[in-house]
Amino acid sequence: MRRVGIALLGCGTVGRGFVELVERERPRIAARHDVDLRIDRILIRDNDKERAGVDRRLLTRSAIAAIDDECDVVVELIGGVHSAGAFVRRAIANGRNVVTANKALLAMNGAELFNAAAANDVSIGFEASVCGAIPIVRVLKSAFAGDEIESIEGVVNGTCNFILSCMERGSAFAEALSCAQERGFAEADATLDVDGVDAAQKMRILASLAFDAPVVRESVVGIRGVTPHEIERARIGGNSIRLVARAERIAGGVAIDVAPRELDANHLFANVRDENNTVVVRGRASGEIVLSGKGAGALPTASAVLADVIEIAKSPSRRTAYAI
């Protein structure tokens, strides 16, 4: 059995979910995949916080200690671009594989990080960075390997969808947002979600996997301007407003478009509720393939992180098949 040491950076909502899931699933993973997963170190910022179910002896406030200790995989669940980016760079330079749920970091510095990973012969797993538990990264990488992808469209931001769903049920925007924050779906600063930037970042990541072509046009409109009145008017007409993100092949490259859309009640996306996500991939040979599932939440996101860790643990080569 292969022993795989994990350094976990960050112990917030998803981090604690990851600790819980590894603890629970370790015996099954060992039996099925022949790898013995161990979290050796957990990087935290605040030593005094209560963290139920987390072994305090693993906690450290030293990023250098966490990253430089012997480990096979660094799991980055800090979020944000600056510290997280510095830690991921250091992990790669030290020859560590990285798994991250950080779409902002990849959208901003993906090319640099994947080049560094390739140069150091390590992998970056990022399934959890897009659409939580939905295995859209894997599906684009492997299931569509023999097909030409024409477009990707979806409800890819769980926070926005949760807010719009609450507003449909009569909540005000601010109330819906704080409810999303309480449930752990939205960041303390939900600006990136609400303004559509997060959805656009996800579509950039998916587009880079799908199209082998540069983004030449991008239009991003968030849900900040959507009024309770518009939602109510849509609801009365039997419709729903959803933040729809789309990437498609156009002449010279890829166009990305993110905007709130009023949709008929029968529309696939109108039936995506709360923190759920749905993505439709249209392939020239495959036709439409639809994937739906939880786009946010501690355990769903942690399950995507863990799937990447297991894939790296089992891989004979450390290098990823694809970089974005």
Q: Which residues bind its own copies (CB under 8 A)?
A: 17, 21-22, 25, 28-29, 31-33, 127, 133-135, 138-139, 142-148, 212, 283, 285-294, 297, 299-300, 302-307, 309-311, 314, 316-317, 321
The residue (of 90 and 235) whose beta carbon lies closer to its own copies is 235
Cα–Cα distance, 108 to 126 (Å, whole number)? 14
The residue (of 262 and 311) whose beta carbon lies closer to its own copies is 311
Cα–Cα distance, 167 to 240 (Å, whole number)? 10
The residue (of 15 and 297) whose beta carbon lies closer to its own copies is 297
Nearest one of 323, 321, 316 to 35, comparing CA atoms: 316
Q: Which of 49, 141, 202, 294 is catalytic?
A: 202
The residue (of 133 and 263) whose beta carbon lies closer to its own copies is 133
CB 42 within 8 A of CB 19: yes
CB atoms within 10 A of CB 239: 18
The residue (of 195 and 308) whose beta carbon lies closer to its own copies is 308
Cα–Cα distance, 243 to 220 (Å, whole number)? 10
Task: Tell me the three-class secondary structure of 195-206, residue by residue.
Answer: CCHHHHHHHHHH
Cα–Cα distance, 211 to 150 (Å, whole number)? 8
Q: Least distance in Å: CB of 210 to its own copies? A: 11
Task: Tell me the three-class secondary structure of 68-134, residue by residue.
Answer: HCCCCEEEECCCCCHHHHHHHHHHHHCCCEEEECCHHHHHHHHHHHHHHHHHCCCCEECHHHCCCCC
Q: Least distance in Å: CB of 94 to its own copies? A: 24
CB 134 within 8 A of CB 101: no
Q: Least distance in Å: CB of 138 to its own copies? A: 6
The residue (of 37 and 192) whose beta carbon lies closer to its own copies is 37
Q: Least distance in Å: CB of 220 to its own copies? A: 27
Tokens coding 74: 């660094």
Q: Is 49 a catalytic residue?
A: no
Q: Least distance in Å: CB of 82 to its own copies? A: 29
Cα–Cα distance, 267 to 316 (Å, whole number)? 44
Identify the H or E element spanning 255. strand 253-264
Q: Least distance in Å: CB of 274 to its own copies? A: 11
Catalytic residue annotation: 202
